[in-house]
Amino acid sequence: MNRFQGHVDTPGDGWELIRRDLGYLDSGAEAKTTNPLLILYNRRTSVLRVFTCVGDPQNNFQFAEIKLKFGTTATYKAATLNRMSALGVALEDTEPRTNPEFVSATRYLNGRSKWFVADFPMDYDPCICQFDSQFNIEVNLITQADVKLLGKTAGSLIAMKDGGTGTATGSTDPDMDKGLPFIRKINSALDAGGKSYDNIDKFTTKMANLFPDKATPLSSFKDASKLGNFMKDGLNSLPYVGAALSMLDYFMGGGQDAGPQKVVMEPMTIEMSTTITGTITTNNWYTSLSFQNPGNRNPNNIPEKIPFYNEAMGVFSLLKRPTVDVRTTTPYTGAGGAPQPGTQPFTRYSFRLTEDLQYVINPAARLEVQDFQAALVFEGPNQTIPTRPYYDYGGIQTYEGPTTNATGMMQHAYRTDYVDARSIKNNIYSYIRKGPIQGTYYGPEFYYTNLYLKVMLNLRPLDCSTCQNVLFVARYPVNQNNVSEYTTLPRASDGVLPQATPATVQVVCNGSKYRDAVTLLKPGRPQAGPPAAPGTPASVALQAYPNPATGAVRLRYPVEQPGPVRLTLRNSLGQTVRTLLAQNAPAGVQELSADLTGLAPGVYYCVFRTATQTQVERLVVGGN
């Protein structure tokens, strides 16, 4: 189908069909649908793309949000959504037991049959086939008054509420409709922001406006990205790549077919120049859909729950957080043993990666590693203006750009040169920090507060000789291990770092840390805090009895907060066949009797929804 901006998502570029409900069956017969949708996945760039249609007439909504999270009817989640923050998350560092929501917000256009699109980046979980997990996609309509945010992310489509004056204002950023931002949301609190761009021109134009000093490498990168031989000659053949992507924590793009048609690269990028905090106070639920996480251990055979493309999503997985040995030498007096004029003795900080990175590439992506380079990134404050660290060897001198830490404080990032990930252990990097008396020669002093590893992979498609290579860039936090001396390591050769063995992957999958992280609490139970008292809404799950039922069924459902409640009955195709309840209800455990006459015998699903709850109960209807 044609993309909104005129691009075409074709299977030749790695796109696969996950789900669709467009008003017809596989046989071509018509199938009535009230909420058309299409879900695609690109196995080369690991983007999950959701198209959904909202057919409501004109109203006072300003924004629509497409929300993605794990379905709670499964026992487990997966590391598939680890990529939803700016920094990469190692497989073992998957956030334990939580089920965060990730929201893509877009402007709501008054009129009928409004189509919205959202892009979500997927991370590869090599353990996914051992556990059952589901996705839930929900579409909500929101008004400006529902959104209370502090801070600003470049190009955000969401109205802001000024922290100083308390006045709500809509964004006037000219980039509003060029990027599709998404926000990480836990219990309605927004704690991070990001942005995807649907083509390389919009991305490079925006970055060049924000970082004029990067305009030249960005322009070179944009031109190279439209060539059929993009990245095929290796990372070192494009020396401007590191500079062009220096301000990003995550980037993935390429993989387009370089045949007769013009190549338009569709990258997935994340900006984290600021931190967003706040809440969305009201959700006006419109529709939702649940389906099996592709590649998971499917515990049932319900046809509409099984995606058409049923292989694990994502491309790259870092199994464990890297460890860097840090050696501090003080006092260090500089060359010849004499301190520099006007300063106290120096302190030298030295850094070395201690072991090979443990990573795997998703075999379903059909990509092979052509180049794999890595660099250490140092983040910290300057006293006045960005000035590179003073170093005596090790090359910590490339300025990545400004960053903002979790408290909103402006920081600056510097990195080492990129080297082969296989041989980065050969290098000891260092920088020197002066004493409390400032000199006049070296200027403002930098000191690091956070340390990261940035990786850059050049991936060659195995199933398309005319396709571009895929570029993957990500930044991961590291463990720091203080040492007094460095041990001797065997010198590693250059070249592509081998992937972790299946045995190594299995150790992580079987480890208690990973298994505990992906375990979700049972549906109907509280997610946190002490156990709820028996009979309270938080301790009760949706129940249908008798089950199987004929003629009528009793439904018992918990309402945690007063407000709108909706109970619907869906068939095995996911279509709503009957609305059982749609009204406001008080808090507490409620019951109703539902008439089943006229329904064909078979399996149905009772769907219970409030502003904060979603529960599903399987119901078997017998002959009347």
Collapse the DSSP code of 22 into the 3-class scheme (helix H, G, I; strand E, B; otherwise coil) and give the result: coil
Same domain for 341 and 438, yes or no, is: yes
Long-range contacts of 533-541 (CB under 8 A, 24+ apart): 535/589, 536/589, 537/587, 537/588, 537/589, 540/589, 541/615, 541/617
3-state secondary structure at position 400: strand
CATH number at 551 reads 2.60.40.3080
Q: With respect to residue 243, please indicate whether it lies within any of the assigned structural domains.
A: no
Asked whether residue 211 is domain-assigned, the answer is no
Q: What is the CA radius of gyration of the chain?
A: 26
Positions of the chain with pLDDT under 50: 1-8, 148-180, 270-276, 342-343, 383-386, 437-443, 522-539
Domain that holds residue 550: 537-621
Tell me how far apart the alpha carbons of residues 589 and 276 are, in angstroms, rounded to a whole number: 36
Per DSSP, the residues of 519-582 read BPPPTTS-SSSSPPPTTSGGG---EEESSSBSSEEEEEEEESSSEEEEEEEE-TTS-EEEEEEE
In this structure, are 567 and 470 located in the same domain? Answer: no
Q: Tokens for 173, please give them.
A: 């950023």
481 shares a domain with 585: no
| Per-residue burial over 552-587, b = 16 or more CB atoms within 10 Å of its CB, e = otherwise | ebebebbbbeeeebebbbbbeebeeebebeeeebee
Residue 529: what pLDDT?
37
At 89 the three-state DSSP class reads coil
| CA separation for the pair 79, 223 (Å, rounded) | 34
Torsion angle, CA of 314/315/319/324, rounded to 10 degrees?
Answer: -120
Per-residue model confidence (pLDDT) at position 479: 94
Distance of CA 594 to the CA centre of its chain: 40
**CA atoms within 13 A of residue 137's CA, in its CB half-sphere:** 24
pTM, two decimal places: 0.74
Omega before 294 within 30 of 0, i.e. cis: no
Same domain (yes/no): 439, 403 = yes
Residue 128 lies in a domain: no
Residue carrying the six token digits 């995807």 = 196
How far is the C-alpha of 563 from the C-alpha of 67, rounded, in Å? 21
Q: Is 203 helix (H, G, I), strand (E, B) or coil?
A: helix
Give the integer Cα–Cα distance in Å for 187 and 490: 49
CA dihedral angle for residue 168, residue 173, residue 179, residue 182, rounded to 10 degrees: -20
Q: Which of 314, 302, 411, 248 is nearest to 79 (CA)?
A: 314
Q: Containing H/E element for 201?
A: helix 200-210
Neighbours of 84 (CB within 10 A): 23
Do 513 and 573 share a structural domain? no
The one-letter amino acid at 481:
N
Q: Torsions phi, psi of 205, nearest 5?
A: -65, -45
Domain presence at residue 428 = yes
pLDDT at residue 90, rounded to an integer: 94
In a domain, 221, yes or no: no
pLDDT of residue 516: 86
Alpha-carbon span 83 to 87, nearest angstrom: 8
371 and 404 share one domain: yes
Please report the pLDDT score of residue 195 as a whole number.
65
Nearest alpha carbon to residue 19 among 34, 2, 38, 35: 38
Number of domains the chain contains: 2
CA 258 to chain CA centroid, nearest Å: 28
Mark whether 564 and 502 lie in a shared domain. Answer: no
User: Do 412 and 554 belong together in one domain?
Assistant: no
Same domain, 379 and 341: yes
The count of residues in the chain is 624
Phi, psi of 511 (to 5 degrees): -70, 150
Asked if 120 and 68 count as a contact pair (C-beta separation under 8 A), the reply is: yes
Task: Measure the CA–CA gap between 110 and 13, rounded to whole angstroms.
Answer: 33
Q: Which of residues 489, 517, 545 is at a domain's end?
A: 517
pLDDT given at position 383: 47
Q: In this structure, are 469 and 614 located in the same domain?
A: no
Strand pairing of 323-332 and 479-483? parallel
Tokens of 194: 């990001």
CB neighbours of residue 210 within 10 Å: 16
**Closest-CA residue to 450 (of 486, 484, 414, 424):** 414
Residue 178 has a pLDDT of: 38
Give the separation between CA 275 and CA 407, rounded to whole angstroms: 8
For residue range 177-204, list pLDDT tens digits in order: 334 455 555 555 555 556 666 677 777 8
Residues 505 and 550 in one domain: no
Same domain, 410 and 454: yes
**In a domain? residue 171:** no
- CB 193, CB 156: distance < 8 Å: yes
Q: How far apart are the first and last CA of the chain?
A: 43
